[in-house]
Amino acid sequence: MDARQLKTNLENLGLSQVAFFESVGSTNDVVAGWAEDGASPPALAAADEQTAGRGRHGRRWHTPPGSALAFSLLLDPRLAERHLGRAPGLGGLAVCLALEREFGLAPAIKWPNDVLLEGKKVCGVLAEAHWSGERLLALILGIGINVAPPSVPPAEALSFPATCIEAVLNRSVDRAALLRAVAEQVLAWQDRLGSANFLAAWGQRLAYQGQRVTLATSDAAPSLSAELQGLAPDGSLIVHLEDGSTRQLAAGEITMRPAAN
């Protein structure tokens, strides 16, 4: 994937700015810099390799060269202002739709921000909001997708199993074409972030629906066993606890895994 191929593939999407880096710290930081300089959304930065790719709460995101998709979209904050809790779902849904349409795969979304193939993590989404006082200045949606086998970190570096698209399909995948397919879906759905259709499309793809999961709020607190019910309108997760009560969980620091693990 080179800069010219990437830019050709992203034509006619209405992006105000596109940049491709052979190697960069984090594409989310690139786009945050653009937002500070007054760039108009939507804009997109992609990298072949990230040297400081990050997940939520400062966790590391592994993006070795030649094998992954790592990119960030600067989105119009006005579209997201009232629906920020849905932003991670926008990334997850866009990746699912692209994988379904391009390859006939059946991905699922491990709430709030992971896309799974065959029960393993193939993609992570990092939604970051930048504020000035009460005003949302920028919404940045960072998406990392494991495409070829070297993109998958060694098992000992992971708390949840990972895979890549090529391992599942057993053939090679054109990263630039997949990037376009995902970007198209993000841009198509961002205007409908607040709609019932968006919530339904996200909810249909939730992993572990109706199943027992283990939820942890932090390493120190005891984990909770619960049955996963679905999504609340604000993008939080509705679960039934063993004592019969219902809880609504905001994304925050919660990690989730199937109870069998």
Q: What is the dihedral of CA 245, 246, 251, 252, to 10 degrees?
A: -30
Q: Determine, following the binding rule CB under 6 A, whether residue 70 of this chain makes contact with ligand BT5.
A: yes
Q: Determine, following the binding rule CB under 6 A, whether residue 185 of this chain makes contact with ligand BT5.
A: no
Nearest residue (CB) to ligand BT5, 65 versus 194: 65
The tally of CA atoms less than 13 A away on the side-chain side of residue 154 is 2
Q: Determine, following the binding rule CB under 6 A, whether residue 89 of this chain makes contact with ligand BT5.
A: no
According to DSSP, the residues that pair with 120 across neighbouring strands are 117
Spell out the residues 6+ positions from residue 186 whose beta carbon is closer than 8 angstroms to its own: 73, 75, 90, 91, 94, 141
Nearest residue (CB) to ligand BT5, 45 versus 226: 45
Q: Determine, following the binding rule CB under 6 A, whether residue 61 of this chain makes contact with ligand BT5.
A: yes
Binding ligand BT5 (rule: CB under 6 A), the pick from 28, 67, 185, 190 is 28
The burial of 148, by beta-carbon neighbours within 10 Å (0-12 exposed, 13-18 middle, 19 or more buried), is given as middle
- Smallest gap, in angstroms, from Cβ of residue 1 to ligand BT5? 14
- How far CA 182 is from CA of 94, 101, 132, in Å, comes to 6, 10, 29
Nearest residue (CB) to ligand BT5, 161 versus 203: 161
Q: Determine, following the binding rule CB under 6 A, whether residue 82 of this chain makes contact with ligand BT5.
A: no
What CA–CA distance (Å, rounded) separates 79 from 188?
A: 12
Binding ligand BT5 (rule: CB under 6 A), the pick from 1, 15, 48, 50 is 50
Chain residues in the site for ligand BT5 (CB under 6 A): 26-28, 50, 53-56, 59-62, 70-72, 113-114, 121, 124-126, 142-144, 146, 151, 153, 158-159, 162
